[in-house]
Amino acid sequence: MSTRKETFALGEFYHLYNRGTEKRKIFLDNQDYQHFLFLMYICNTTRNIDTRRIGEDFDREVLLVNMGAYCLMPNHFHILITEKNEGGISKFMLKLMTAYAMYFNKKYERSGKLCEGTFKSTHLNTDNYLKYLYTYIHLNPAKLIDKNWRKNNSKDTLKLLDYTFNYQYSSMTEYKNNKFTILNTEKFPNYFKSILSHKKELFDWLSLDY
């Protein structure tokens, strides 16, 4: 996997995303989702890692990035991120995507690229944009219930809210449990003072007529 030519600035916030090549699914079962989440945790380190030899007592020591939100969907993912060390984002994503592609290709006896080239990124250069991304990322699972929910005037808002709020492959789980493993949010603005404010924000966006 080639490294990304774009540089990222310390202290700035970015939305990272990518999808499977030819829009293929990159998560086929619960094990795949859980392994990607595991890799998001252990790849966030300046240390060299061998996933085959990492146990529960693995000490990441110096982290590469801070993460504020994430969501895994069947054929793509989203991560809200900021660098903790110079070059951290590119190093983290190279580790993460290389390790996951190796796992996926071995498990499903395939070869070749898993995702569409290097990951995509958007610089979140305003406070409003950054706040919106929290909600945008956590609302992604609504598409699994109603892919056209934004245009559906008869959408079941409460059903969509329940599904997105309880989706197990997004960082909403960490916010709900107030137990952060993959996330390390100290460098991100505290837009939502409680999990109820998170939930209200989701509801408000789901309720809009677009």
Catalogue all structural domains in the chain, each as residue range(s) with its CATH number: 13-204 (3.30.70.1290)
Whether the pLDDT of residue 28 is over 50: the answer is yes
pLDDT in tens, 32-87: 999 999 999 999 998 887 666 665 567 778 899 999 999 999 999 999 999 998 99
What percent of the chain is predicted at pLDDT more than 90?
79
Q: What is the mean pLDDT of the chain?
A: 91
Angstrom distance (rounded) from CA 198 to CA 140 = 15
- Three-state SS for 207? helix
- Model confidence band, residue 3 (pLDDT cutoffs 50, 70, 90): very low
CA angle 90, 16, 74 (to 5 degrees): 120
